[in-house]
Structure 1
Amino acid sequence: MAYDWQPLILTLKLATVTTAILILIGVPLGYWLAFGRFRLKAVVETLVAMPLVLPPSVLGFYLLLAFSPKNAFGRFLDDTLGLRLVFSFEGLVVASVLFSMPFMVHPVQSGFQNLPRSLMEAAYTLGLSKWQTLIRILLPNIKPSLLAGVVISFAHTIGEFGVVLMMGGSIPGVTKVASIAIYDEVESLNYSAANFYAFILFAVSFSILLAVFFFNKRALRPL
């Protein structure tokens, strides 16, 4: 029996793009939350953490409303930028970035907060700027935390269902990722195909996590 590999390819593409964007956003945001001192910090941290407790369907529903061309913001994106996010791959990326944000930001923030202040003070004493200190001193010292954020974000995106269903539906080759394909196949009582997709996702997630645990174990091994 021939299986359609398109949902799996689309899932890996979504997870890769989402994780890359989260690295670009999550590292500066984690740094800001770790070292920043401002009045609304608790509010920002709460907003970042909301996907941890908010049902995916709720977040997906509000994103669907916000980006719908029938509403002001969605109409603005469509008319001004020609960008329609509902039922599109780009919309899945936006939803996935928002939904997986805490899985990148929290490990990075924790990694920064656990570093001794003397590292930053020594770097500033040597004349390094904040940007140079971040790139050359801080990031190399939080590699396990950064790797954890990358892996968890990637794996979490692979397993997303509610958010991607609300934002993208089930359009083959566009928004039908593996989790949606499993749901569709089960509804059609095609358990063989559902098992194929489920097993691939299980194997990929297990392999990624196993590699991370192995890497961290070797990194923590005394010389």
Structure 2
Amino acid sequence: MLDQDFIYTLLLTGKLALITTLVLILTGIPIAYWLNYSRFKLKFIAETLICMPMVLPPTVMGYYLLVAFSPENAFGNFLQEYFDVRLAFSFSGIVVASIIANLPFMIQPLQNGFAALPDELRQASYTMGKSKTITLFRVLLPNIKTSLITGIALTFAHCIGEFGIVIMVGGNIPKETRIASVAIYDEVQALNFEAANHYAFVLFILSFLILLLIYSINRKINFTTFR
């Protein structure tokens, strides 16, 4: 019979990944659209900042976020004093950290998808009197379904396996910030390899299924397109 802590940890992991993915779908689409079509001269700085989590060690990012979230510093103190929100060592904090860490995994596939579309498609929609919003959701997004699915799957998969930034910002608080990747580390430290294997096996299967889903859907879409 499965342990309640094991089930709760997996549910917390899924909750974190689901919230992060949903938030990044809502924010990632307009950001990717802006990055691809904007003529803002300093756009490359925004692109650099968004991609930083891909090259910056998670513990480094986690450390700076922890410092920012701490009530002893201006931002953390402002949130706690005026909104009664504590981000350091809390589930809310690891959600915010996870969103920041997973930005490139959602935005880059979408941006690449937009870049691959012929600009005549967008211009034709404008010529027909369609607004930018309608063009985005009715014309552009349906033509980059593969990129959207890839971004969603990569974000979710990366989130369930995130460790460094979570342990730095959230610590290891049962039923609060102890997600599966942290639990694996915790169980190995305690030489409880059987429990660590249970967590690792679940994450392995989930990652495999997510990648299988990406490739199968992309294969089906490509087959339908070129049929």
TM-score, structure 1 as length reference: 0.98
Runs of 5+ consecutive residues of structure 2 not aligned to the other structure: none
> 1:44 maps to what in 2?
46
Deviation at 1:7, TM superposition (A): 1.1
2:179 is equivalent to residue 164 of structure 1: no
**Partner residue, 2:80:** 78
Equivalent of residue 211 in structure 1, options 205, 210, 213: 213
Q: Give distance in 2, aligned partners of 1:49 and 1:71.
A: 26
SS of 2:153's partner is helix
| Amino acid in the other structure paired with 1:84 | R
User: In the alignment, which residue of structure 1 is the partner of 2:155?
Assistant: 153
**Residue in 2 aligned with 1:134?**
136
User: 2:130 is aligned with what amino acid?
Assistant: L
2:99 to 94, 97, 100: 97
* Rounded Cα–Cα distance in structure 1 between residues aligned with 2:48 and 2:2: 46
* Cα offset, 1:211, TM superposition: 1.3
Q: Which of 9, 12, 22 is 1:20 aligned to?
A: 22
Tell me the CA shift for residue 101 of structure 1: 0.3
Deviation at 1:2, TM superposition (A): 4.0
Shift of residue 93 of structure 1?
A: 0.6
- The aligned counterpart of 2:13 is 11
Offset at residue 40 of structure 1 (A): 1.1
Aligned residue for 1:182?
A: 184
Alpha-carbon distance, 1:212 to partner = 1.4
Letter in 2 for 1:39: K
Q: Secondary structure at the match of 2:172?
A: coil
Whole-Å separation in 1 of the counterparts to 2:2 and 2:28: 40
Cα distance in 2 between the residues matched to 1:220 and 1:159: 29
Cα shift at 1:5: 1.2
* Partners of 1:218 and 1:139 in 2: CA distance: 17
Letter in 2 for 1:181: A
Distance in 2 between the 1:211 and 1:111 partners?
Answer: 18
Could you say which residue in structure 2 is the equivalent of 1:200?
Answer: 202
SS in 2 for 1:171: coil
RMSD: 0.8
The equivalent of 1:125 in structure 2 is 127
CA distance in 2, matches of 1:126, 1:29: 25
Identity value in percent: 55
Q: What is the TM-score when the length of structure 2 is the normalising length?
A: 0.97
Cα deviation digits, residues 31-62 of structure 1 (max 9, x gap): 00000011211111100010011000000000
